[in-house]
Every structure is written in structure tokens, then in C-alpha cells.
């Protein structure tokens, strides 16, 4: 599903060039649940933004579902992001003036779905995350854990095959974080590909496969280790 080859990213700030990702080779199969781990500043969010087609690499190749992402223009990329990928962020990124239901409906507005179907699918997604009874609440009327579950419902509403989460439990207490991770496990069991970015070893442990980044390079991949010892 995800194939990165010789991928690199350099940020240019004025005259200063910062090489944040170096020679990343990574293959993720459909249906895998992987954690990308590493200390702060190691390039995790940069890598997630590239995998999520929110940013482009400076060098190297990225194929998503066999399609070369570098060959796509901005309109095609926006379509891929909307159809294929569900995003979950540390700070939820919900719109504060909208109810939970309307937040969840947003991706469907961009897809041109009728309002009846939007409502139906939003309520279905909220039910999946256990928040049917909070559909008409605004984010400020929900706990952090509930807000993150609304964000997960929003990420699911377009039925994407790939879920990308950047520090999804970073702003949550332990119990709410566990509930979010239980939900990821369920979504993985249903066949979705899940990529979680985290600096928290307990979050990483819940995935099937752990990749470790340090200074922009992959320094460990649990899948390779298993291969190496068998
Ligand atoms: P992580 O998510 O692992 O903490 P990031 O990918 O956010 O790491 O950042 C890696 C490095 O790239 C950091 O040194 C950060 O300051 C730098 N960086 C991130 N985004 C930008 C940007 N848009 N422009 C310049 N430097 C950036
Ligand atoms: Mg980060």
C-alpha cells in the first residue's frame, strides 16, 4: 500500500538547509498496523505529512496503492487525501463552532454527498466510536477523549483504507488514551491499514510492527528483526 524508496526531505529556511529525512526505505502492506516511533525532532511528523500527501519529499519515490504520488498534481493529491486517507492529530483539529455531527460530516461535503446521506453516515461513524449521544454537542462540551473520538469518526466517514494518526494520545489522560488505542485495534481488525506516529513506547507496543526513526533515518524495524532471526 505504501512504498517509500530513497526518500528524503530537506527544509530550506532562508539560507539554512535542514535535512530532516534521509534515505527512507519503507514498505507497508495493506492491513498492517504499524507505529513509527522516535524522539522529538527525529522527523516523525514530516514523514507522516509525506505519507499523507500533505507534503512532498525533496528526493526519492513514494507510491501509494501502486500510484506514483510525485506524478500527481495538487487536485489529484487532494482527491487521494479525501478518499483514501483518514487523518487524526494530537490536538483533534475540530471546528469549535460546529457540533460533533457537523464536524464528522465535513469530509463528505467535499465529496458532494447529499445532506441526508451525510447525516446518516456521520451518525453511523459517531456510533462506531461510542458517541451517538453526543452528536449535538460542540467540542468545548466534550472531554479530550471524546473530542479525539469525534476526530476519529470524522477520519472514518469517507471509509478510507488508510488511517494516519500523529501522536493521537499525546493530549489525553491514560484512560482516554487507552480507549482510543482500543478503537485503533478494532479498526485494524476490520481490515484497515493503521499508521500511528508516537514517541510513547506504550502506544507503539500496541501496534503489530514498530519502526524507529532517529535523526531522519530508520534505525530499527521490528519486521526486519523477525525476518533476521527466523
Ligand atoms: P517529530 O515529529 O519527530 O518531532 P518533525 O518532523 O516535526 O519531528 O521535525 C523534524 C525537524 O524538522 C525538527 O528539527 C523541526 O524543527 C524541523 N521542521 C519541521 N517542520 C519544518 C518546517 N516546515 N520548516 C523547517 N523546519 C521544519
Ligand atoms: Mg511530531
Q: Answer yes or no: is 27 within a domain.
A: no
Read off the CATH number of the domain in which 148 is found.
3.40.50.300
Q: What is the pLDDT of residue 109?
A: 87
Q: Answer yes or no: is 83 within a domain.
A: yes
Q: What is the pLDDT of residue 228?
A: 61
Q: Average pLDDT in the 134-149 region?
A: 97
pLDDT in tens, 79-127: 999 999 999 999 999 999 999 999 999 999 888 899 999 999 999 999 9
> Does the pLDDT value for residue 189 go beyond 90?
yes
Pocket probe mutation, ligand 1, options 7, 8, 9, 11, max atoms within 8 Å of Cβ: 11
Q: Answer yes or no: is 135 within a domain.
A: yes
Q: Answer yes or no: is 66 within a domain.
A: no
ipTM associated with this complex: 0.98
Q: What is the pLDDT of residue 211?
A: 97
HEC assignment per residue over the chain: CEEEEEEEEEEEECCEEEEEEEEEEEEECCCCEEEEECCCCCCHHHHHHHHCCCCCCCEEEEEECCEEHHHCCHHHHHHHHHHHEEEECCCCCCCCCCCHHHHHHHHHHHCCCCHHHHHHHHHHHHHHCCCHHHCCCCHHHCCHHHHHHHHHHHHHCCCCCEEEEECCCCCCCHHHHHHHHHHHHHHHHCCCEEEEEECCHHHHHCCCEEEEEECCEEEEEHHHHHHHHC
Q: Answer yes or no: is 223 within a domain.
A: yes
Q: Answer yes or no: is 65 within a domain.
A: no
Domain tally, the chain = 1
Q: Answer yes or no: is 109 within a domain.
A: yes
> Does the pLDDT value for residue 62 go beyond 50?
yes
Residue range(s) defining the domain that contains residue 188: 32-57+73-229
Nearest CA to ligand 1 atom 5: 43
Q: 11 near 18, Cβ under 8 Å?
A: yes
Q: Answer yes or no: is 129 within a domain.
A: yes
Q: What is the dihedral of CA 98, 104, 107, 112, to 10 degrees?
A: -90
Q: What is the pLDDT of residue 111?
A: 80
Q: Average pLDDT in the 126-149 region?
A: 97
Q: Is the CB of 20 under 6 A from ligand 1?
A: yes
140 band by pLDDT with thresholds 50, 70 and 90: very high
Q: Is the CB of 198 under 6 A from ligand 1?
A: no
Q: What is the pLDDT of residue 229?
A: 55
Q: Which residues, 6 or more positions from 83, have their beta carbon under 8 angstroms from its beta carbon?
A: 111, 158, 160
Q: What is the mean pLDDT of the chain?
A: 95
132 band by pLDDT with thresholds 50, 70 and 90: very high
Please give the distance, rounded to the nearest whole angstrom, from the Cα atom of residue 46 to the centre of ligand 1: 6
Please give the distance, rounded to the nearest whole angstrom, from the Cα atom of residue 158 to the centre of ligand 1: 29
> Does the pLDDT value for residue 34 go beyond 50?
yes
Amino acid at each position: 500500500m505504501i512504498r517509500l524508496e530513497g526518500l528524503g526531505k530537506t527544509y530550506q529556511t532562508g539560507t539554512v538547509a535542514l535535512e530532516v529525512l534521509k534515505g527512507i526505505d519503507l514498505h507497508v502492506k495493506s492491513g498492517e498496523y504499524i507505529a513509527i516511533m522516535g524522539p522529538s525532532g527525529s522527523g516523525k511528523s514530516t514523514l507522516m505529512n509525506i505519507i499523507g500527501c500533505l507534503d512532498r519529499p525533496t528526493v526519492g519515490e513514494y507510491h501509494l496503492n501502486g500510484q506514483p504520488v510525485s506524478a500527481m498534481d495538487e487536485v489529484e493529491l487532494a482527491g487521494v487525501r479525501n478518499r483514501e486517507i483518514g487523518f487524526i492529530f494530537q490536538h483533534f483539529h475540530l471546528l469549535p463552532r460546529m457540533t460533533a455531527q457537523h464536524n464528522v460530516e465535513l469530509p463528505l461535503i467535499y465529496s458532494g454527498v447529499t445532506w441526508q446521506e451525510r447525516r446518516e453516515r456521520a451518525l453511523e461513524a459517531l456510533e462506531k466510536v461510542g458517541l451517538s449521544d453526543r452528536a449535538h454537542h460542540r467540542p468545548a462540551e466534550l472531554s479530550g477523549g471524546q473530542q479525539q473520538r469525534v476526530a476519529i469518526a470524522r477520519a472514518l466517514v469517507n471509509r478510507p483504507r488508510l488511517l494516519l494518526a500523529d501522536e493521537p494520545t499525546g493530549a489525553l489522560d491514560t484512560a482516554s488514551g487507552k480507549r482510543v488505542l482500543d478503537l485503533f485495534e478494532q479498526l485494524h481488525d476490520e481490515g484497515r491499514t493503521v499508521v500511528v506516529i508516537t514517541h510513547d513506547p506504550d502506544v507503539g507496543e500496541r501496534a503489530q510492527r514498530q519502526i524507529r526513526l532517529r535523526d531522519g533515518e530508520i534505525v530499527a524495524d521490528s519486521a526486519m528483526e523477525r525476518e533476521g532471526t527466523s
